């Protein structure tokens, strides 16, 4: 199994993986999580995001890329 296959099958994502799928900057996603606007799970020092939460955000259009310097923003 490749790393990509494992990532696609895993029910939770790292912030970096979720940011890539959402097409937003990692720092932007961390800010949204910290502000409580994007649900995430903290496991010790690690933050994980449910794949279903990412899919829901994409379906609802909650996240949209901006043309800005930071790579994206959330609505």
**pLDDT > 70? residue 3:** no
Question: How confident is the model at residue 17, as a pLDDT?
Answer: 93
First to last CA, the chain: 36
Question: How confident is the model at residue 72, as a pLDDT?
Answer: 46
Q: 40-55 b/e with 16+ CB inside 10 Å = b?
A: beeeeeebbbebebbe
**Does 61 or 55 have the greater pLDDT score?**
55
Give the confidence band of 47 by pLDDT, cuts at 50, 70, 90: very high
Q: In what order do the strands lie in the sheet with 12-14?
A: 12-14, 46-50, 41-43
Question: How confident is the model at residue 27, as a pLDDT?
Answer: 97
CA distance 31 to 63: 13
Least confident of 7-11, 46-50, 63-67: 63-67
Domain layout of the chain by residue ranges: 3-74
**pLDDT > 80? residue 66:** no
Across all residues in the chain, what is the average pLDDT? 81
CATH class of 3-74: mainly alpha
């Amino acid at each position: 199994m490749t790393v990509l296959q494992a990532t696609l099958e895993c029910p939770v994502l790292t912030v970096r993986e979720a940011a890539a799928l959402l097409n937003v900057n990692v720092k932007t996603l961390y800010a949204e999580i910290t502000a409580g606007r994007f649900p995430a799970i903290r496991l010790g020092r690690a933050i994980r995001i449910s794949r279903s939460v990412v899919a829901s955000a994409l379906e609802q259009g909650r996240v949209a890329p901006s043309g800005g310097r930071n790579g994206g923003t959330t609505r």
